[in-house]
Amino acid sequence: MKIANAPCSWGVLEFELDGKAPDYIQVLDEMHAIGYTGTELGDWGFMPTDPEQLRAELASRELTLLGAFVAVALADAETHAPGEASALQHARLLADVAGDTPFIVLSDDNATTEHRTQYAGRIRPEHGLTPEQWDIFVQGVHRIAKAVREETGLRTVFHHHCAGYIETAAEIDTLMQRTDPDLIGLCFDTGHYRFGGGDPLEAFTRHADRIWHVHFKDCHPDIAARSRRDEWDYFTSVGNGVFCELGNGDVDFPAFLAELRNRNYDGWIVVEQDVLPGMGSPYESAERNLQYLNSIQDLRSTLFCTTMHVASG
């Protein structure tokens, strides 16, 4: 499996938050030093937006550019035109740097709707989109993905996300049912799905054909439970470590990895451990996350070889 990381693991988030995150030079240097071989773009302007400079920065660290996160408040029709322009801006840069293989990772403009931010991890049906908003939302997703494909050849995946519309299992199911499977894939994020109340493995078996891109994120069950009990908002939950290091939460990564292999998934695994700017020890966490993934890959290979030896013996 090809394993990448993303700037959000260093506190480089799309939100306006207090605290200072490292610059792109430190983030890319540390990704390379640890052993990651790919990255996503991060916020527009975090990395160089000149294609030649960005290409050189990535090549010097042997990193592949995989995609760019684009947030659009899709339930509001007035955002669709500027959202399309933003997605195309990102897509042109991706295409110039890495051809037609990266993804536009489209999402709602998360944490801009008060009740979705306040109730992240415990969304109720009354917090969801109205039928009219669903129509507008899907129209926006299709419009942006179609424009990106026609101009640049890049594909679009939708990233479900806590603190925004399309968080719960039911909301993801509805979006997949209402969008064109040839035009829209799913960026499946194990941690956001788990914090949103779903079982990632069960979801994968249901949406495998639509999952074109994967984010590996863990969710700590005790912190998630405390978030629900104490009615934390999204940022309080993140600040208290709800998205923990891989293997410290309750996402079954060995089983999920096995399912990816069983279905011949040939894309990237992008490690993401969302932290607030200045929070934690990103280098050490990213290093342990890669060590964990390597250990479960090695374990599965050892078990497979042992099973084959016993069967043949």
pLDDT > 70 in the chain, percent? 93
Q: What is the mean pLDDT of the chain?
A: 92
pLDDT at 227: 98
User: Which domain does 138 fall in, by range?
Assistant: 2-312
**pLDDT (tens digit, 9 = 90+) per residue, 230-260?**
999 999 999 999 999 999 999 999 999 999 9
CATH number of the CATH domain containing 62: 3.20.20.150
The full 3-state SS of the chain, as one line of letters, equals CEEEECHHHHCCCCCCCCCCCCCHHHHHHHHHHHCCCEECCCCCCCCCCCHHHHHHHHHHCCCEECEEEEEECCCCHHHHHHHHHHHHHHHHHHHHHHCCCCEEEEEECCCCCHHHHHCCCCCCHHHCCCHHHHHHHHHHHHHHHHHHHHHHCCEEEEECCCCCCCCCHHHHHHHHHHCCCCCEEEEEEHHHHHHCCCCHHHHHHHHHHHEEEEEECCCCHHHHHHHHHHCCCHHHHHHCCCCCCCCCCCCCHHHHHHHHHHCCCCCEEEECCCCCCCCCCHHHHHHHHHHHHHHHHHHHHHHHHHHHHHHHC
pLDDT tens digits along 181-196: 999 999 999 999 999 9
Whether 305 has a pLDDT exceeding 80, the answer reads no
What average pLDDT score do residues 283-294 get? 97
Q: Is the pLDDT of residue 301 over 60?
A: no
- For the chain, the domain total comes to 1
